[in-house]
């Protein structure tokens, strides 16, 4: 689900870079983490890193992967998850070519920001109904909402940047292609992400209860 280089116009990624930088600065001011929790955060971030590197190609020319974003958001908080996933995405872009450098701001805004906050507040929305359902939903929405955002951003590229003849200069497919191709597989993947989120969060909260006690 990472956007590679060459798919986005400067009219898209430059404003995204400004917005992403502003959110990173805000996150830096908000994040306060106990030193004792740093090893756990590092371990969970590593899990997310590996999950996002296991890429499965699917029909339609796109790929899917798990993320671990909701795990970080629920175990810590959305700002910590945002900072952690932003770093994961940067390392993947620079060292593994997973996601483009120019596309990094959009990948950060979609996966790190939308993924983390949708998971956190999605869980909060349903936790009084059922903590199990709320956790699974958090994992599901953390995948689905970013996929909708990415599909929309890609789908409007032919409208944003065109040649004098009216041909798209960057990503050539519109919303009628990107929305079903990207979102539909992630609706199903989100179920797997939700189940994995529930299993990992439950295990870590039980096995390392003292690490998450306030």
What CA dihedral angle connects 16, 47, 131 and 208, to 10 degrees? Answer: -130
Is pLDDT at 210 greater than 70 in this prediction? no
Long-range contacts of 96-101 (CB under 8 A, 24+ apart): 96/53, 98/2, 98/52, 98/53, 98/55, 99/2, 99/3, 99/4, 100/2, 100/3, 100/4, 100/5, 100/6, 100/7, 100/8, 101/5
pLDDT of res. 206: 85
pLDDT of res. 110: 96
10-212 belongs to which CATH class?
A: mainly alpha
Record the tokens describing residue 110, joined without a space: 């979609």
Is pLDDT at 19 greater than 90 in this prediction? yes
30-51: pLDDT as tens digits: 888 777 788 889 999 999 999 9
- Of all residues in the chain, the percent with pLDDT exceeding 90 is 74
Mean pLDDT on 190-210: 89
Contacts of 161 (CB under 8 A, 6+ apart): 9, 10, 11, 168, 169, 170
Is pLDDT at 23 greater than 90 in this prediction? yes
Is pLDDT at 166 greater than 90 in this prediction? no
Closest to 205 in 3D by CA, of 26, 75, 64: 75
For the chain, the average pLDDT equals: 91
99-153: pLDDT as tens digits: 889 999 999 999 999 999 999 999 999 999 999 999 999 999 999 999 999 999 9
pLDDT of res. 194: 96
pLDDT of res. 181: 92
pLDDT band at 59 (very low <50, low <70, confident <90, very high): confident
Q: What's phi and psi for 10, nearest 5 deg? A: -60, -30
């Amino acid at each position: 689900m990472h956007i590679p280089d060459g798919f986005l116009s400067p009219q898209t990624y430059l404003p995204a870079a400004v917005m992403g930088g502003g959110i990173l600065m805000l996150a830096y001011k908000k994040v306060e983490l106990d030193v004792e929790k740093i090893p756990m955060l590092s371990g969970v971030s590593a899990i997310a890193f590996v999950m996002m590197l296991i890429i499965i190609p699917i029909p339609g020319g796109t790929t899917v992967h798990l993320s671990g974003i909701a795990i970080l958001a629920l175990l810590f908080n959305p700002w910590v998850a945002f900072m952690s996933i932003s770093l994961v995405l940067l390392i993947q872009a620079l060292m593994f070519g997973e996601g483009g450098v120019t596309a990094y701001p959009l990948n950060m805004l979609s996966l790190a920001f939308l993924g983390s906050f949708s998971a956190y507040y999605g869980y909060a929305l349903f936790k009084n109904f059922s903590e199990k359902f709320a956790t699974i939903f958090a994992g599901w929405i953390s995948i689905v909402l970013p996929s909708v955002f990415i599909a929309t951003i890609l789908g409007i590229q032919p409208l944003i940047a065109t040649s004098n003849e009216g041909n798209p200069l960057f990503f050539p497919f519109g919303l009628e292609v990107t929305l079903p191709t990207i979102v539909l597989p992630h609706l199903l993947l989100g179920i797997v992400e939700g189940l994995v989120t529930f299993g990992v969060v439950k295990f870590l909260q039980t096995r390392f209860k003292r690490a998450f006690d306030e």
